[in-house]
Amino acid sequence: LNMSSSVTNISEHLSCPLGFGHYNAVDICILETVVIVLLTFLIIAGNLTVIFVFHCAPLLHHYTTSYFIQTMAYADLFVGVSCLVPTLSLLHYSTGVHESLTCQVFGYIISVLKSVSMACLACISVDRYLAITKPLSYNQLVTPCRLRICIILIWIYSCLIFLPSFFGWGKPGYHGDIFEWCATSWLTNAYFTGFIVCLLYAPAALVICFTYFHIFKICRQHTKEIHDRRARFPSHEVDAAGETGHSPDRRYAMVLFRITSVFYVLWLPYIIYFLLESSRVLENPSLSFLTTWLAISNSFCNCVIYSLSNSV
């Protein structure tokens, strides 16, 4: 009976969009709780592993993109730690002003952390673009000091862009909708959503598309030139030149391109629903929950891509 009453309390405090009837709602709430707890564990464990690998492998620091990858790992780790908030709220549920403040802070922090990941992916693509298009001057253009300044600016920009949500202008995302106040009292705003899309989502996506398009175009041209040279002058020198040319850069770019692609595949449903709901075209709590936690699951997917794409 105590377990039944506890589950009933959980079902009252959580948004259970798929529930039709009391028992069905309880089952859905338990399913949502399992999803949140599992993702929280995977995100924390996966990103701790990535951070540990970078700490124990000094050779990885020779790659300039390691600065951004480690920043993403720390941001994703904090996402996992932040996800402990809705998990713990299942046991200690607060109401009134405390719930609204917790909801706002939680949604803001998650939005900022994912903005950092998105900006880091864009910076990685620019870094690889410079490495391939300007190989001779790359070391002078990309220095550790400039990389650190860039990372600091990413954090500052991410914190500022979502700050208007604290002053009543829109909602940064659905990450806090596990709380009832977030789901019912904190409404989205089409202008604020457009503001976020124009200043964050769209620029990052355009930069990534532009850079990777030219990266693979240059690598394809380089590979074609190597094949032509091999056909004209079949010698060991040409083979050695081809092996030490852009092929490592292309493989490295492919790994980063997979990470970026998975990021946008998982985040695109969230962004589309965010736009539709802000415009009052579509409102579905179940889609809100599914797209939100699908997007948050990207914080764990990066770790899987690292291990599957690159044994080093």
pLDDT of residue 153: 95
284 within 8 A of 12, measured Cβ to Cβ: no
pLDDT of residue 178: 67
Give the residue-averaged pLDDT of 231-260.
61
The residues, any chain, with a CB within 8 Å of residue 123's CB and separated by 6 or more, are 68, 150, 154
pLDDT of residue 260: 79
CB atoms within 10 A of CB 4: 9
In one letter, which amino acid is 199? L
Q: Strands, DSSP E only, in the chain?
A: none
Query: Is the residue at 241 inside a domain?
Result: no
Give per-residue pLDDT as tens, 2-55: 444 444 444 444 444 443 344 455 666 777 778 888 888 888 998 998 888 888
Of the candidates 249, 32, 293, 289, which has an alpha carbon nearest to the alpha carbon of residue 138? 249
Which domain CATH number covers 144? Answer: 1.20.1070.10
Of the candidates 278, 300, 260, which has an alpha carbon nearest to the alpha carbon of residue 127? 260
Query: Is the residue at 16 inside a domain?
Result: no
Q: Count Cβ neighbours within 10 Å for each residue of 145-156 and write b for 16 or more, e otherwise.
A: eebeebbeebbe
- Is pTM, for the whole model, over 0.85? no
Query: Is the residue at 259 inside a domain?
Result: yes
Say what the alpha-carbon torsion angle 204, 262, 300, 126 is, to the nearest 10 degrees.
-40
Look at residue 78 and tell me whether its pLDDT is greater than 80. yes
Share of the chain above pLDDT 90, in %: 10
**pLDDT band (50, 70, 90) for residue 236:** low
Look at residue 58 and tell me whether its pLDDT is greater than 50. yes
Query: Is the residue at 13 inside a domain?
Result: no
Give per-residue pLDDT as tens, 95-132: 444 777 778 888 888 889 989 988 998 898 898 888 88
Count the domains in the chain: 1
Domain of residue 52: give its range.
30-229+246-310
Query: Is the residue at 195 inside a domain?
Result: yes
Ranges 102-106, 156-160, 208-212: which has the least confidence: 102-106
* Structure-model confidence comparison of residues 301 and 204, the more confident one: 204
Query: Is the residue at 23 inside a domain?
Result: no
Give the residue-averaged pLDDT of 219-239.
68
